[in-house]
Amino acid sequence: MASLSGADAEKLQKLQSAVSGLNQISENEKSGFISLVSRYLSGEAQHVDWSKIQTPTDEIVVPYDSMPAVPTDSAEIQKLLDKLVVLKLNGGLGTTMGCTGPKSVIEVRNGLTFLDLIVIQIETLNSKYGCNVPLLLMNSFNTHEDTQKIVEKYKNSKIEIHTFNQSQFPRLVVEDFMPLPCKGNSGKDGWYPPGHGDVFSALMNSGKLDALLSKGKEYVFVANSDNLGAIVDLKILNHLIKNKNEYCMEVTPKTLADVKGGTLISYDGKVQLLEIAQVADEHVNEFKSIEKFKIFNTNNLWVNLNAIKRLVQENALKMEIIPNPKEVDGVKVLQLETAAGAAIKFFNQAIGSNVPRSRFLPVKASSDLLLVQSDLYTLADGLVTRNSARTNPENPAIELGPEFKKVADFLKRFKSIPSIVELDSLKVSGDVWFGTGVTLKGKVTINAKSGEKLEIPDGAVLQNKDINGPGDI
């Protein structure tokens, strides 16, 4: 590790003694935080040498279709599944969509939440193959209490659910590099969860990792709880066990909507995640090009549990640090975070798998909610599947104005979700309300004039239309 300058060493020492007095967090969290800050101060974030970047071969990013078929014998499948654990990253709040609790309890379809769908999917696997795939939820201190209450409702289901918390780190005051909680801000605002890169040490520190290993579990499938496409895939699991791959990142072909997503590269003979934040300004356009970097990280990760234990014990998972500046009550603070995908380079025989786009269906905004609640998708056994009646492989591009941003407002403005199987794009701005049974086809823009309410009548069929008032419908 790069050594610290005198001033930085002194900074770190002061910080360390301040942190040692914070009794809200464990010794593991304190040392994890200090080690992160010390790496940040030493400036060890190495810049990527652009000339050394190579496009990964099919051996490193394995095409999904080239993976061998899964055994058909259900006893063999049960054996595979009994080695698996599913872990959903559940630390996020639904604030961007106007909700106060964990994002995973937003209703996605037919009154079912993200969490309901995940539970149904795993229950279906467990009862179909007679296996025991447990579900782990990694919460943050923001979502922990609410999640404990929500999980109660599944206590009679055929699935073991475990929850654990990711680390809680103090926000750093930029001005004097001291922890915000020491400044009298002892509420939740003084703290932050340090990104999903923390999943490996949090699993270990919570005792969950050893408990899973003692039950013969070998692999964990990690995914964001808001990605409806992140379902258990036997083909990938089978491939990893056969080839002893300790880590697999699912990537999928980039479209123009994904140009900022991290990508996999070959670098110094190893597979590595390249994020836009690591790219020098003069190469950003090249990074965003779909020609050179054809794939991006879905954040669906498969990781060997024994390998996690080994690397956490060796303190070897030194992922790139993502500095995230914020402001709390007018005070400039810094939070240092890491991403789980960046850990790929520390695992043996790590690979990517180039998977179908259907495995990436995140719901980040109400426009995504419109897609998954519409007739573009069907729901069975907790799986949200694309409607085969749609011929265009791309989803429609949907832009909804700020009036639709909050889930509650979004739901109020649609008497029923329109049919969009034949829609190419939709842009809605202003005070627009939709009746029941509306059908949208081709390119549709609806713009209510300022101060006017525009209602789309029940049963309206709008095809390739520009609507600026009732007369255009």
- Which residues line the annotated binding site for substrate? 196
> Under 8 Å CB-to-CB from 302, ≥6 apart: which residues?
219, 220, 221, 222, 236, 237, 240, 245, 247, 248, 250
CA distance 211 to 95: 33
Find out whether 96 and 124 touch, Cβ atoms under 8 Å.
no
Annotated binding site: 103, 166, 195-196, 226, 364
Q: Give the ranges where 71-219 is alpha helix by DSSP (H).
A: 74-81, 114-129, 144-151, 199-205, 208-214
Dihedral over Cα of 110, 111, 112, 113: its sign: positive
CA distance 221 to 229: 13
User: Which of 81, 410, 415 has its CA nearest to residue 237?
Assistant: 81
In a 13 Å sphere around the CA of 137, the CA atoms on its Cβ side amount to 30
Annotated binding site for UTP: 103, 166, 195, 226, 364
**Inter-CA distances, 17 with 12, 31, 43, 85, 182, Å:** 9, 11, 22, 39, 11
CA distance 252 to 238: 19
| DSSP-assigned letter for residue 415 | S
**Which residues face 113 on adjacent strands?**
107
What is the widest separation between alpha-carbon atoms in the chain? 73
Burial class (CB in 10 A: 0-12, 13-18, 19+), 8: middle
Question: What separation, in Å, do the N-terminal and C-terminal C-alpha atoms of the chain show?
Answer: 66
> Under 8 Å CB-to-CB from 293, ≥6 apart: which residues?
254, 263, 265, 274, 287
